[in-house]
Amino acid sequence: MHPTLSSFSRLHGLSGLSRFFSSWFVSSSAARLPQAEGSEVCPLPPWQHQQVRTRKRGTEYQPKNIKRKRTHGWIKRLSSQGGIEVILRRMLKGRKSLSH
């Protein structure tokens, strides 16, 4: 095929696409004509720009010494086989503090 003809056919295909998209843009812009001046910048309703408040995050950890000692303390560790294994692992690793 001749290079000029192939480039022409490519351009012709693009013009069909551009015609399609330009009609789409014109129809969408024509639908927005009756608006106040300066509202083109922000076409969303004003209530969609407000902050949505949800549940607070990051407040899960509220330290309590009694809970910490009862869950991770020496007496609790020695009361079960798994707790003894935790203490032994920490001894083998050379931890300075074996439990709370």
Judge contact between 87 and 80, C-beta under 8 A.
no
Domain assignment of residue 17, yes or no: yes
The first and second tokens of residue 24, run together, are 């789409």
Judge contact between 98 and 91, C-beta under 8 A.
yes
Residue-wise pLDDT for 60-83, tens only, equals 889 999 999 999 999 999 999 999
pTM over 0.85: no
Domain assignment of residue 39, yes or no: no
Domain assignment of residue 51, yes or no: no
Instruction: Give the residue carrying structure tokens 């490519």.
Output: 10
**pLDDT in 10s for each residue of the chain, 100 residues:** 565 555 555 555 555 555 555 555 555 555 555 555 655 566 777 767 778 888 888 888 899 999 999 999 999 999 999 999 999 999 999 999 999 9
Domain assignment of residue 41, yes or no: no
Instruction: State how far the Cα of 73 lies from the Cα of 81, in Å rounded to an integer.
Output: 14
Per the structure, the complete domain to which residue 16 belongs is given by: 1-30
